[in-house]
């Protein structure tokens, strides 16, 4: 990733010039020369409400060969969140944007460094192997060439590969994840969780000490009131739509914002913590999804892995996937997690059984429910009957 010392932070799309892009790309792509930049415009509404996401093509040469790089620049827009969430805190937005910069600048290279190379990577050419983010391409997130924050304006920028031009897309609004899509997303989370745990074991330092930017209780205390207000507002709408569910609503009124206690003894990992449908992009072979990438890394937290999984299921799936395919998807997650950890790891998550995972998942579904009501508008009203069935099953587990 490019050094931040000599590279300016763009204020808008007009600052994305060939000389600037060349600076951004040179560390990962030595010898690159950028001669032209074609701005394609903003990515569609719904794919990041803290930032403006500007798609552009960079044209030039490298090693005597013509090149075209399809990229996006994610630029802080302090006005944007207010169009979605009126209780928004600018200070919280600055912290969130800076956390994503730190995630890409610091955590991703560390996570890649402890990844076990796949057979494909081992057989790749040396030029590919030497690129810092080569291994990340087969993991769970877009490749990032540059991420930095201006300490004066507090504007941030992240320059990444354009996943759309690689065949990835988000689901249309209102469509829950299918079994296959949920399986792929669970596998992506397993890679994140497994690599973060490997990193912690290898470094001997707890991740919150290694990365002081990971979101903590104190980081979110100023938005708890706002999200609680949003939760109860949407819960009132739900209660009005389902007057026969008074007992369920009464239980839901007692839920609190998902603040897992520091005294919780469970093993923790680096969690995405915002794994809802607009932050997941899928690639398809025909009509079949075959790859997933997680985007928008502004909310990472140090939590039990089941926290991300509860969020994934409760916020993004319908009744069929939640009820009929949950066990198979959790088993797939567990398999990928153990595969990512590697056979030489003997502590922590290596001894984490599938039964423990299932129990933790059920316990953390109360947090998934809270997040789902904050985002109640994501799925259409027709899906609410499925939501009732999901909530009734979670109620039977005794967690709400």
CATH of the domain at 363: 3.90.1200
* Token code pair at residue 19: 């000389």
For residues 169-176, average pLDDT: 84
* Token code pair at residue 134: 């080569």
Q: What is the pLDDT of residue 189?
A: 98
CB-CB neighbours of 255 under 10 Å: 18
* Token code pair at residue 135: 């291994």
Query: In terms of DSSP H, where are the helices of 28-138?
Result: 90-102, 108-113, 119-122, 126-129
Q: Looking at the structure, do residues 246 and 325 belong to the same domain, yes or no?
A: yes
Task: Among 106, 132, 166, give the residue marking a domain's end.
Answer: 166
pLDDT of residue 222 exceeding 70: no
Q: Looking at the structure, do residues 42 and 162 belong to the same domain, yes or no?
A: yes
Q: Looking at the structure, do residues 213 and 339 belong to the same domain, yes or no?
A: yes
Share of the chain above pLDDT 70, in %: 85
Q: Report which of residues 2 and 81 the model is more confident about.
A: 2
Q: Looking at the structure, do residues 81 and 209 belong to the same domain, yes or no?
A: no
Confidence bin at 240 (pLDDT 50/70/90): confident
Cα–Cα distance between 231 and 257 in angstroms, integer?
Answer: 9
Name, in order, each residue with C-beta under 8 angstroms of 79's C-beta and a sequence gap of 6 or more: none
2: in domain: no
If DSSP codes are grouped into helix, strand and coil, which group holds residue 343? coil
CATH of the domain at 41: 3.30.200.20
Q: What is the pLDDT of residue 6?
A: 78
By the 8 A CB rule, do 330 and 186 touch? yes
Q: What is the pLDDT of residue 378?
A: 47
Q: Looking at the structure, do residues 142 and 262 belong to the same domain, yes or no?
A: no
Q: Looking at the structure, do residues 382 and 284 belong to the same domain, yes or no?
A: yes
pLDDT of residue 88 exceeding 70: no
Q: Looking at the structure, do residues 134 and 208 belong to the same domain, yes or no?
A: no
Q: Looking at the structure, do residues 385 and 275 belong to the same domain, yes or no?
A: yes
Q: What is the pLDDT of residue 125?
A: 47
When mean pLDDT is compared across 12-16, 132-136, 159-163, 373-377, the lowest value belongs to 132-136
Q: What is the pLDDT of residue 206?
A: 95
Q: What is the pLDDT of residue 227?
A: 85
For residue 307, CA distances in Å to 75, 257, 259, 318, 325 come to 29, 13, 11, 18, 18
Task: Among 166, 183, 211, give the residue marking a domain's end.
Answer: 166
Question: Is this structure's pTM higher than 0.85?
Answer: yes
Name, in order, each residue with C-beta under 8 angstroms of 25's C-beta and a sequence gap of 6 or more: 2, 32, 34, 58, 69, 145
For residues 264-293, average pLDDT: 93
Q: Looking at the structure, do residues 371 and 227 belong to the same domain, yes or no?
A: yes
For residues 240-252, average pLDDT: 93
Q: Looking at the structure, do residues 67 and 176 belong to the same domain, yes or no?
A: no
6: in domain: no
Q: Look-up: residue for tokens 């596998």?
A: 187
Q: Looking at the structure, do residues 135 and 256 belong to the same domain, yes or no?
A: no
For residues 126-146, average pLDDT: 64
For residues 162-180, average pLDDT: 90
Number of separate domains in the chain: 2
Residues spanned by the domain of 18: 13-166
Q: Looking at the structure, do residues 172 and 144 belong to the same domain, yes or no?
A: no
Task: Among 166, 191, 216, give the residue marking a domain's end.
Answer: 166
| pLDDT tens digits along 315-374 | 999 999 999 999 999 999 999 999 999 876 556 788 899 999 999 999 999 999 999 998
Cα–Cα distance between 361 and 313 in angstroms, integer?
Answer: 10
By the 8 A CB rule, do 349 and 337 touch? yes
Q: What is the pLDDT of residue 138?
A: 58
Helix (H) or strand (E) holding 306: helix 305-316
């Amino acid at each position: 990733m490019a050094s931040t010392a000599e590279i300016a932070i763009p204020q808008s799309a007009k600052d994305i010039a060939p000389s600037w892009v060349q600076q951004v790309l040179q560390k990962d792509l030595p010898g690159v020369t950028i001669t032209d930049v074609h701005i394609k415009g903003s990515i569609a509404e719904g794919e990041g409400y803290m930032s403006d996401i500007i798609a552009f093509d960079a044209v030039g040469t490298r090693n005597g060969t013509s090149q075209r790089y399809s990229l996006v620049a994610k630029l802080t827009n302090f006005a944007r969140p207010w169009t979605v969430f009126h209780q928004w805190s600018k200070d919280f937005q600055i912290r969130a944007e800076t956390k994503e910069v730190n995630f890409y600048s610091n955590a991703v290279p560390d996570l890649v460094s402890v990844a076990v190379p796949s057979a494909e990577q081992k057989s790749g050419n040396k030029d590919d192997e030497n690129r810092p983010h080569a291994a990340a391409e087969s993991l769970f997130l877009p490749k990032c060439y540059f991420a930095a924050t201006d300490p004066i304006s507090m504007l941030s920028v992240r320059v990444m590969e354009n996943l759309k031009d690689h065949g990835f897309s988000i689901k249309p609004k209102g469509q829950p994840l299918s079994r296959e899509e949920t399986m792929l997303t669970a596998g992506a989370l397993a890679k994140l969780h497994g690599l973060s745990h490997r990193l912690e074991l290898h470094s001997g330092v707890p991740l919150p000490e290694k990365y002081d930017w990971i979101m903590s209780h104190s980081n979110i205390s100023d938005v708890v009131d706002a999200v609680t207000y949003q939760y109860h507002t949407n819960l009132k709408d739900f209660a009005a739509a389902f007057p026969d569910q008074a007992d369920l609503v009464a239980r839901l009124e007692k839920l609190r914002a998902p603040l897992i206690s520091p005294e919780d003894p469970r093993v923790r990992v680096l969690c995405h913590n915002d794994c809802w449908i607009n932050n997941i992009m899928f690639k398809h072979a025909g009509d079949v999804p075959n790859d997933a990438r997680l985007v928008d890394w502004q909310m990472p937290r140090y939590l039990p892995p089941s926290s991300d999984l509860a969020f994934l299921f409760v916020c993004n799936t319908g009744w069929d996937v939640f009820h009929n395919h949950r066990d198979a998807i959790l088993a797939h997650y567990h398999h990928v997690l153990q595969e990512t950890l590697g056979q030489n790891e003997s502590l922590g998550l290596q001894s984490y059984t599938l039964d423990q995972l299932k129990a933790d998942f059920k316990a953390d579904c109360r947090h998934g429910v809270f997040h789902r009501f904050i985002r109640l508008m994501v799925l259409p009203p027709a899906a609410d009957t499925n939501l009732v069935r999901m909530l009734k099953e979670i109620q039977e587990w005794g967690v709400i």
